[in-house]
Amino acid sequence: MSQSNASHELVLTRLIPAPKEKLFRAWTEPELLKQWFVPQPWSVAAAELDVRPGGSNRIVMRDPDGNEFPNQGIYLEVVPNERLVFTDAYTEAWQPSGKPFMTGIITFEDEAGGTRYTARVRHWNEADREAHEKMGFHEGWGKCADQLAELVAKI
């Protein structure tokens, strides 16, 4: 795989004291994903996940005032318990989205003490990366990683 353009990429990595199978389940089972995927006090109003290459996903995020923000995309690669790659460049059945923003690459690697969890987000251009960073990528994705760790400790 070629090296990505760092000016287009944001990365979050954590060591989570749980087996990678539990983290993969939390990313791929709608009822689990709803419990951690957005930073509280936001919530997930709906999650539809067809977890297979070419399968679509639809996640509706809800802010504390009840406003809903639907996000659609497709899975590009699914390696159970190891890797998920998804993008919002397509919505379903390879239909282009109105404005592609990012591709997410989530990896789960065995490490002493648990799983090395890495969320790598590649943007189409530097401006989109900067916008995502200003939206609070590090804080928001970090809080979600904390919520993910709390959830997998209980399942």
Domain tally, the chain: 1
pLDDT at 86: 98
Name the phi and psi angles at 34, rounded to 5: -60, -25
Domain assignment of residue 80, yes or no: yes
Q: Is the pLDDT of residue 1 over 50?
A: no
Domain assignment of residue 16, yes or no: yes
Domain assignment of residue 3, yes or no: no
Per-residue model confidence as pLDDT tens digits over 93-129: 788 998 999 999 999 999 999 999 999 999 999 999 9
Cα atoms in the 13 Å half-sphere on the side-chain side of 79: 9
pLDDT at 4: 52
Range of the domain at 131: 11-152
pLDDT at 7: 87
Per-residue model confidence as pLDDT tens digits over 58-94: 999 999 999 999 999 999 999 999 999 999 999 887 8
- The per-residue pLDDT of the chain, averaged, comes to 94
